[in-house]
Structure 1
Amino acid sequence: MSSASLVRKLEQFVRLSPVDHAILNRAASERVRRFGARVDIVREGDRPKDVHLILSGWACRYKQLEDGRRQVVSFFLPGDICDVNIFILREMDHSIGTITPVSIADLSREFFDDIAVRHPRIVTAFWWETLVNAAIQREWTMNLGQRTALERTAHLLCEVWLRLRLAGLTKGDSCDFPLTQADLADATGLSKVHVNRTLQELRAEGLIVLKGKTLSVPDLDRLMRAGLFNSNYLHMDHEGQQLDAAVTDAAAG
């Protein structure tokens, strides 16, 4: 398994050295586990042991009520890390489940202890990723609280498409899209009927093409306008690389 998607994403924030690449590649290949679709990787109440790096496939973070109602609070795509600081917790307060078959690498506390001492660029990149994840969570709250059904759905599709592009996982204007209407309903707080109607509206407007498990976005700018989407919360402008020289100087000092 490769850490290519992770490295590509982290280098949006900090320019990593060849040694950093080697460290991440080794970590992504040493303790790999594979899961089928629609199973839990970790459940609420479990004691966290490792940080999970998504190598391939799609997963989600979710909360579930006793009567079975589920709220998806984030999607994990290849290259994503589930909770860098999970070691602080005594037990999980949410579950992580697969959407497709998934391969993960378990990253140990020792791995993070080592990079904290010897690989400051990786640490800085992880901090940036953590801050971006927090920004994504804020945007999801705005989505649920203020946007209309069409705006919510368009916004989520824009975000997923851009995150996949950052990881090098789009082809032209298309990407894999294994999410079901039930998944979209759980993520947007809408009923499956409402999601179906909203997707039909987006199709009719020529904003998306959904065929099988492939999403095409013929005009991303139009879809962004429909979703009131501002990509600033994804921090794709490489601002983190401005810290590269400072991190190097600090390490040398």
Structure 2
Amino acid sequence: MTDGDRTLLEGIAQRRTRRVPARHDVIAEGEPPRFINVVVDGWGCRYKQLPNGSRQMLSLLLPGDTCDANAYILREMDHSIGAITNMTIAEVHPEEFMALVQGSPNITKALWWNEMVMMAIQREWTLSLGQRSARERIAHLLCEIFFRLKVIGRCAGNACEFPLTQIDLADATGLTSVHVNRMLQDLRRENMIELSGKALTILDMPALMEEAMFNPNYLHLDSGDARRVREN
């Protein structure tokens, strides 16, 4: 995008923002979507919850992500968007959004790219649930999170923020929290990762990627970006 495109996006993102406390919904299933929500800061997720309280996390939302850019055309949400940490959300009116899209082909292309990447991530999560072992699921999710954070400048060397609990990881991978704990302990013992507080350190990225059968091509990063994440 051009500098002008970026200025337009930043201006719209700053017009109307709201804070969402950790573990609260940005918007709940069944509610009418009135805005296009963009994550300015914090971590969130898309999720579905059954009447018995069981929850399946559908995807993670990180700073810069758009929460369902086209949801405003629906009468009600068919899933919920929740805050994992305290979040700052930019609320963009549909009229502003349409004017932005119609006025800039570059922004339109960027939004299409973003939606395609979100769909690709969803396909990869479905593949993990159906075909990867418990250990592979955890390893794959850790790789994905690190790659996504590294590209947006949210890592320090081989470490990144990691506010997810074992219950969050269980909800994302279709495992129990006890099983998640065992898999994390295995990866720690084999010196692939280190978890301390709310930080994740990747000690051996090639080994973790091999364990997960992780190929970052579904994230559609620039090849140079992907190579730097592997090497650093």
- Give the TM bin, normalised by the shorter chain: over 0.9
Which residues of 2 match residues 151-162 of structure 1 at below 5 A?
Answer: 151-162=136-147
1:176 paired with 2:161, answer: yes
| In 1: Cα distance, 2:98 partner to 2:196 partner | 45
Give RMSD over aligned pairs. 1.1
Of residues 36, 51, 54 in structure 2, which corresponds to 1:66?
51
What is the DSSP-based 3-state SS (H/G/I as helix, E as strand, rest coil) of the residue aligned with 2:164? coil
| In 2: Cα distance, 1:55 partner to 1:238 partner | 26
Q: Which amino acid aligns with 1:150?
A: R
Deviation (angstroms), 1:28:
1.4
1:57 paired with 2:37, answer: no
Structure 1 unaligned blocks of 5 or more: 1-15, 240-253
Structure with bigger RCO (C-alpha 8 Å, 6+ apart): 1
Runs of 4+ aligned structure 1 residues displaced above 3 Å come to none
Structure 2 unaligned blocks of 5 or more: 225-232
What does residue 96 of structure 1 align with? 81
What is the DSSP-based 3-state SS (H/G/I as helix, E as strand, rest coil) of the residue aligned with 1:90? coil
Deviation (angstroms), 1:116:
2.3
Deviation (angstroms), 1:88:
2.1
Deviation (angstroms), 1:133:
0.5
Of residues 170, 174, 177 in structure 2, which corresponds to 1:189?
174
| In 1: Cα distance, 2:7 partner to 2:205 partner | 35
Q: Which amino acid aligns with 1:85?
A: N
Deviation (angstroms), 1:238:
6.5
What is the DSSP-based 3-state SS (H/G/I as helix, E as strand, rest coil) of the residue aligned with 2:63? coil
Which residues of 2 match residues 1-150 of structure 1 at below 5 A?
Answer: 16-150=1-135
What does residue 229 of structure 2 align with? none
| In 2: Cα distance, 1:238 partner to 1:131 partner | 17
TM-score, normalising length from structure 2? 0.94
| In 1: Cα distance, 2:82 partner to 2:103 partner | 33
Of residues 180, 187, 211 in structure 2, which corresponds to 1:202?
187
What is the DSSP-based 3-state SS (H/G/I as helix, E as strand, rest coil) of the residue aligned with 2:60? strand
Deviation (angstroms), 1:18:
1.2
What does residue 10 of structure 1 align with? none
The aligned length equals 224
What does residue 246 of structure 1 align with? none
Which string of whole-angstrom CA distances, capped at 9 and with x for unpartnered residues, describes residues 137-177 of structure 1?
00000000000000000000000110111111111000000
| In 1: Cα distance, 2:223 partner to 2:26 partner | 32
